[in-house]
């Protein structure tokens, strides 16, 4: 990841960078994606000094990943009948989780859901399609990010 000429290590999807993103392919979409806002885990990653609206994650927060569901690629309240991502994870990946505008408007069924910019695992193992950086890098970047920020996956 290159930010203003500074390069940071990041993790991408296990399916690599893909042009024709499909739900479940594990690919990170080749795209220009704006940051819409996001979430943080209380007590683990306080959202200091950022212009982004970051909501605290609660146990009832999920994100639908079923293309046929009316709430596909949208936040949902758990329990939720259709398959969904749980935002309050057992690991630290979503301690800081920014929502990218991939497949939000217009939303196309089956074109990928829950494409986030979040924290990476220590060894930078691949994501399910997201972009992930270390907690140290996220803390460094957050004060400079806004809803005008565009993340580019070339």
Quick check: is 150 in a domain?
no
- The answer for residues whose C-beta is within 8 angstroms of residue 35's C-beta and 6 or more apart is 52, 98, 99, 100, 101, 117, 145, 146, 147, 149, 150, 151
* 153 within a domain of the structure (yes/no): no
User: Is 57 among the domain residues?
Assistant: yes
In a domain, 152, yes or no: no
The confidence score (pLDDT) of residue 2 equals: 60
Domain residues for 25?
2-145
- Write the CA distances from 90 to 33, 47, 94, integer angstroms: 27, 20, 9
- The verdict on residue 114 lying in a domain is yes
Q: Considering the domain boundaries, does residue 133 fall inside one?
A: yes
In a domain, 55, yes or no: yes
Q: How many domains does the chain have?
A: 1
Over the stretch 60-110, which tens digit does the pLDDT of each residue have? 999 999 999 999 999 999 999 999 999 999 999 999 999 999 999 999 999
Q: Give the global pTM.
A: 0.95
Predicted confidence band of residue 4 (pLDDT cuts 50, 70, 90)? confident
- Give the Cα separation of 89 and 40 in Å (integer): 11
Is the pLDDT reported for residue 136 higher than 70?
Answer: yes
Whether residue 123 contacts residue 9, with contact meaning beta carbons closer than 8 Å, is answered with no
Judge whether 9 lies within some domain.
yes
């Amino acid at each position: 990841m290159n930010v203003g000429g500074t390069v940071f290590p990041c993790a991408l999807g296990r399916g690599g960078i893909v042009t024709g993103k499909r739900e479940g392919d594990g690919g990170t979409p080749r795209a220009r994606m704006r940051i819409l806002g996001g979430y943080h885990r209380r007590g683990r990653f306080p959202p200091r000094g950022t212009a982004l609206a970051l909501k605290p994650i609660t146990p009832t927060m999920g994100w639908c990943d079923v293309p046929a569901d009316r709430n596909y690629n949208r936040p949902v309240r758990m329990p939720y009948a259709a398959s969904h991502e749980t935002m309050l994870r057992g690991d630290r990946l979503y301690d800081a989780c920014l929502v990218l505008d991939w497949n939000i408007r217009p939303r196309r069924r089956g074109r990928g859901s829950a494409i986030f910019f979040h924290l990476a695992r220590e060894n930078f193992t691949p994501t399910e399609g997201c972009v992930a950086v270390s907690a140290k890098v996220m803390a460094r970047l957050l004060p400079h990010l806004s809803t005008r920020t565009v993340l580019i996956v070339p």
